Amino acid sequence: MNYRSKRGITIYIALALIMLFFSLPLLWLLSLSIRTPAEILVRNLHVIPHSPTLQNFAQVLNNHQFLGYLWNGLKLAIMGAAGACVVAVPASYAFSRLQFRGKAQLLFLVLGFQMVSPLVMMVPLYRSMQAMGLTESHFGATLIYIAMYAPIATWTMKGSIDAVPRELDEAAMIDGCGRLQAFLRIILPVSLPGLASTFILTAMLGWSQFIVPFILLSQPDMLPISVGIFYFFGAYAGSAMQLVAAASVLSLLPIIVMVFFLQNFVVGGLTAGAVKE
């Protein structure tokens, strides 16, 4: 066995150990979610339950409030991701293709906004949203999501547009397209895989966002799943931990399904590419 083979095996073993390390909490959560109430109270818990059951999932899904949490979380994540992409696409094109004074400094300033913790801004932000009557509103929360995730969306989209050859712009303009037409007809279609990846990233961030909805929203029928799990844990942690685990597992499914379908779209976009255009 040569040096490269040994090095490759070592890398794969290291990656497998890292994956196992981060997978153990999820496996344990799944194990708790299929236990009976009697097995939860046993001190020496086994990874694989003696009497696995899906009744916990059925009981959680029969809770209409939990289903409302899922719907609210999905709505906020999708609207926030879509809004962030709408803002990021023209901004990233400007940073990628246009030349203007202070472009590099402005680009790092955009990244600086992403580094600011929401906790630092929430007190003045809450007062501003309250003055505009947007505290108990999904629209108000979506605006905050867009403002928070537009910077990272701009950075990721800029990388996608940078990868598109400038010759495509020049060819489109030679054929009579203006800059806007070249962007809409040539650059944007070729950048769709990057746009899909940006949407996935921002949707995942929005799905797991806790601080913003926790502070801006208080009505139970308005809360997303990230905050709903918090209240669900407070209600069942002492008496029905298996239900909390089942609810946590179910809360992972929508974003996993969305990522799965959009990943297929990304692969399809890569195979279509600029040649088809």
Task: Say how many CA atoms lie within 13 Å of 187 toward its Cβ.
Answer: 31
Alpha-carbon radius of gyration of the chain: 23
What's the pLDDT at 47?
Answer: 73
CA distance 87 to 109: 16
Supply 159's token pair.
């990388």
For residue 254, the enclosing domain spans 54-276
- Residue 265 included in any domain: yes
Enter the pTM of the model. Answer: 0.81
Q: Is residue 15 part of a domain?
A: no
DSSP structure class, residue 54: S
Asked, for residue 259, whether it belongs to a domain, the answer is yes
How far is Cα 187 from Cα 164, in angstroms, rounded to an integer?
Answer: 7
Helix, strand, coil tally for the chain in percent (to 5): 80, 0, 20
- What share of the chain in percent tops pLDDT 70? 88
Domain-located, residue 16: no
Top pLDDT among 272 and 208 is at 208
Instruction: Give the Å distances, CA to CA, from 9 to 14, 23, 231.
Output: 9, 21, 45
Instruction: Tell me the pLDDT band of 236, cut-offs 50, 70 and 90.
Output: low
User: How large is the average pLDDT for residues 235-261?
Assistant: 79
Please check whether residue 91 is in contact with residue 275, taking contact to mean a CB–CB distance below 8 angstroms. Answer: no
Number of domains in the chain: 1
CB 40 within 8 A of CB 28: no
Q: Does a structural domain hold residue 38?
A: no
Mean pLDDT (whole number) for 12-37: 86
Mean of pLDDT over the chain: 82
Q: In which band, very low, low, confident or very high, does the pLDDT at 2 lie, cut at 50, 70 and 90?
A: low
pLDDT at residue 275 above 50? no
- Please state, in angstroms and rounded to a whole number, the distance separating the CA atoms of residues 95 and 159: 10
- Residues composing the chain: 277
pLDDT at 20: 85
**HSE-up of 90 (CA within 13 Å, CB side)?**
6
CATH no. for residue 271?
1.10.3720.10
Structural domain includes residue 116: yes
Torsions phi, psi for 240 (to 5 deg)? -145, 70
Of 196, 215, 27, the closest CA to residue 130 belongs to 215
Farthest-apart Cα atoms in the chain, separation: 75
Rank 10-19, 22-31, 70-79, 110-119 by mean pLDDT and report only the highest.
Answer: 70-79
Phi, psi for residue 18 in degrees, rounded to 5: -65, -45
Asked if 276 contacts 264 with a C-beta cutoff of 8 angstroms, the reply is: no
Residue 81 within any structural domain of the chain: yes
| pLDDT tens for each residue of 125-184 | 888 888 988 888 999 999 999 988 999 999 888 888 888 888 887 788 887 778 888 888
**Looking at per-residue confidence, does 80 or 174 come out higher?**
80
The answer to whether residue 33 is domain-embedded is no
**CB-based contacts of 18-25 (< 8 A; 24+ apart in sequence):** none
pLDDT given at position 31: 85
